[in-house]
Amino acid sequence: MIVLGIETSCDETAAAIVKDAKTVCSNVVSSSLLFHKKYGGIVPEIAFRKQMETITQVVDCALKDAGIGLEDIDLISVTDGPGLLGSLLVGVSFAKALSYSRNIPLVGVNHLYSHIYAGFLNIGPGNFPFVSLVVSGGHTSLYYVRSLNKISLLGSTQDDACGEAFDKVAKILNLGYPGGPVIEKFAHKGDPRKIKFACSNTRGPLDFSFSGIKTAVLYYVQKNFKSPRVTGYKPQVADICASFQECAINTLVEKSMLACSAKKVRTLVVGGGVAANLTLREKLNKSAAGKKIKVIFPTKEFCMDNAAMVAGLGCWLYKSGRKSNLNLNVCLD
């Protein structure tokens, strides 16, 4: 079964062709990040206008890269939420129009669940039941996955998402957007034990809170630097990045291990933009190895928002009986 995936939940316009829920034949991602950079975050109106302009070309490009035409598509899978309203509407409307005009079946999929699927691209899904950590710019959640249509939430962030905290700390340190990659780069040069940051207590043991640590970084900067806006590279900046990253990642590792032991599972599947972080990968692998837990990470290109994960999950769901009709709407939470 050949599936066209479409993903437009945030700033990206993405399309991919995936065969039999496994083999990625093409994966095209066009980002409007450059147009948002000067605002220090994503501006929804800029995002959906760019998506309107590029979606046709991105889908054409995905078909061309895979060496196929629209007549070869058996299913269209599209992200229907959560995400930015205008952005989701571009993808869902495009997918519905294509489905209607070419008489191709349609399935809407959840963006966060597709991040879980990203780890299975090119290898195929398995290892049920497992725990999944989805850690991105908008969400930080732990799930118990009995099957890909039986997913229950174990805990999630009470305030900022982990990626959002990386982005906000980078903003405090004047390091640009997105914050994750640049903080990771600086953290390699810093001392993770230099400053004692801590993540706040949470309501439930598997919930997260990252807003307190972001504020602690802000106060530290205000106290230790003459200007509230740090400029240029300084060794202290690397120490702040390393100490912040250490604390945020230790929390992710601790709670993921706790979830695995609470649910008595031997597999952890990680997804979302923060899953690209090498320190997170190393620490999770190390901690899991001691407990005989297998950790599945997506390759780096599939950590970030992409449409291959949407096509893969959509195919699996369709084969298990899920189908959307032309009433498909976006769902913001």
Interface with Zn ion (CB under 5 A):
136, 305
6 makes contact, choosing from Zn ion, ligand KG4, none, with CB < 5 to 8 Å by partner type, with none
Q: Please state, in angstroms and rounded to a whole number, the distance separating the CA atoms of residues 25 and 1.
A: 12
Least distance from C-beta 16 to Zn ion, angstroms?
Answer: 14
Q: Per-residue string for binding with ligand KG4, 261-290, x by CB under 6 A?
A: -----------xxx-xx-------------
Q: Per-residue string for binding with ligand KG4, 40-79, x by CB under 6 A?
A: ----------------------------------------
Least distance from C-beta 302 to ligand KG4, angstroms?
Answer: 10
- Tell me which of 30, 77, 136, 209 binds ligand KG4, using CB under 6 A: 136
Q: Which is nearer to ligand KG4, 172 or 274 (CB)?
A: 274
Interface positions, 291-330, toward ligand KG4 (CB under 6 A): 304-305
Phi and psi for 277 in degrees, rounded to 5?
A: -70, 125
Q: How many residues bind ligand KG4 (CB under 6 A)?
A: 20
- Are 142 and 39 a contacting pair, CB within 8 Å? no
Least distance from C-beta 170 to ligand KG4, angstroms?
Answer: 7
Q: Is position 82 an interface residue for ligand KG4 (rule: CB under 6 A)?
A: no
Least distance from C-beta 286 to Zn ion, angstroms?
Answer: 26
Task: Name the β-bridge partners of 75.
Answer: 3
312 makes contact, choosing from Zn ion, ligand KG4, none, with CB < 5 to 8 Å by partner type, with none
- Are 272 and 164 a contacting pair, CB within 8 Å? no
**Token pair recorded at residue 260:** 């695995």
Report CA dihedral (6, 64, 102, 322) to the nearest 10 degrees: -40
Rounded to a whole number of angstroms, the distance between the first and last alpha carbons of the chain is 30
Q: Please state, in angstroms and rounded to a whole number, the distance separating the CA atoms of residues 9 and 122.
A: 23
- Tell me which of 4, 6, 10, 269 binds ligand KG4, using CB under 6 A: 10
Q: Please state, in angstroms and rounded to a whole number, the distance separating the CA atoms of residues 144 and 163.
A: 21
- Tell me which of 108, 119, 178, 192 binds ligand KG4, using CB under 6 A: 178
Distance of CA 198 to the CA centre of its chain: 24
Q: Is position 184 an interface residue for ligand KG4 (rule: CB under 6 A)?
A: yes
166 makes contact, choosing from Zn ion, ligand KG4, none, with CB < 5 to 8 Å by partner type, with ligand KG4
241 makes contact, choosing from ligand KG4, Zn ion, none, with CB < 5 to 8 Å by partner type, with none
Categorise residue 137: left if φ over 0, alpha if ψ from -120 to 50, beta otherwise: alpha
| DSSP for 231-292, written as a single string | -S--HHHHHHHHHHHHHHHHHHHHHHHHHHHHHT-SEEEEESGGGG-HHHHHHHHHHHHHTT
Task: Name the β-bridge partners of 280.
Answer: none
- Site of interaction with ligand KG4 (CB under 6 A): 10, 136-138, 163-164, 166-167, 178-181, 184, 272-274, 276-277, 304-305
